Amino acid sequence: MDRRAVRPDDGTDLVTRTDLTFTSHGSPVAAWRYTADDDGFAGPAGRPCVVMAHGFGATRDAGLEGFAEELAAAGLDALVFDYRGFGASGGDRRQVADVPGQLHDYRAAVAFARGLDGVDPDRIVLWGVSFSGGHVFALAAEDSRIAATVAMTPASDGAAAALAIVKREGVPGALRSTVAGLRDVLSTRLGRGPVLVPLAAMPGELAALNAPGAYEAYTGIAGETWRNEVAARAFLQLPLYRPGRAARRIDGPILVQIADLDQSAPPAAAAAAAARAPRSEVRHYPCDHFDIYPGRPWHAAAVAHQLGFLRRHLAVRDAVTA
């Protein structure tokens, strides 16, 4: 177990990052645990823990460190992990973005976080961005113990995302993606392995993300373990995945952060999902999908809103004594 001290970009106190591993479906999942000396959120049962996963095909070293460090500096633990098949995690199927598998990994991460020393098991926070921003709607709806949820620029409706792609690229572009997905499924069934396509590419090129500016932004946050490729079967799965519909079953508070100029995750779909949640708080930013990552114009505002939201819902009230 490796441990090192890191200093958040905002210049606040050092926080500690520890390398950990837990298991999901028999495979090792690589994780970082961030802790800090600040006791602003500490209670009799321990500190809250924010369980964080990245978006579609991304790895924990692609921009999540900055968020985790700033949350930890404020007194929250954070557990940041790679899905099986990506980054430093195990798994035989590499670069396959499988929705049920990712949800299972996230559940395993929550269970692991609840057992960590110093963590209050009843103050677990789900934190997702983009594709995992959709996951947290589904996960919060099924786990009533979740204390709070943060969905940042969430991909909450695959059908809406598919329609946006058709509008941008036309029917030929959509057909090209479908053919690639079918080729991948057939290749895998014949034992030849997956057909991989770029995760991010320039507009007009075959890729999971090819909106204007997506390639430059994605490669700008990419870490050492990130690979610009993903199994093409995702083109067939994504239109059917609509986690925002589960929002009405979320009992706890949820912060939905929407980039109003988002070209990768339709903002109207995110707003509709937020409207379904009984205890939602919505924040809007006049920017595109990647403009709230560390070093980008709206990062500081996004983190400030997350911390304000979590302080309101997780702060320990002083005990009333007779």
Provide the 10 A C-beta neighbour count for residue 85: 22
Helix axis angle, 299-314 to 64-73, nearest 10°: 40
Provide the 10 A C-beta neighbour count for residue 11: 7
> With contact defined as beta carbons under 8 Å apart, do 134 and 269 qualify?
no
Task: Break the chain into its structural domains and give their ranges.
Answer: 3-160+242-314
Please give the pLDDT value at position 14. 73
Nearest-angstrom CA–CA distance, 96 and 111: 23
Q: Is 127 helix (H, G, I), strand (E, B) or coil?
A: strand
- Phi, psi of 257, deg, nearest 5: -105, 115
Please give the pLDDT value at position 189. 92
User: What six digits make up the tokens of 183?
Assistant: 């080729």
pLDDT by position in tens, the chain (length 322): 455 555 555 555 578 999 999 999 999 999 999 997 778 898 999 999 999 999 889 999 999 999 999 999 999 999 999 999 999 999 989 999 999 999 999 999 999 999 999 999 999 999 999 999 999 999 999 999 999 999 999 999 999 998 988 888 888 888 899 999 999 999 999 989 899 999 999 998 999 999 999 999 999 999 999 999 999 999 998 899 999 999 999 999 999 999 999 999 999 999 999 999 999 999 999 999 999 999 999 999 999 999 999 999 998 654 333 3
Tally of residues, the chain? 322
| DSSP E strand stretches across 57-147 | 77-81, 119-129
Nearest-angstrom CA–CA distance, 160 and 158: 5
Query: What CATH architecture applies to the domain 3-160+242-314?
Result: 3-Layer(aba) Sandwich (3.40)
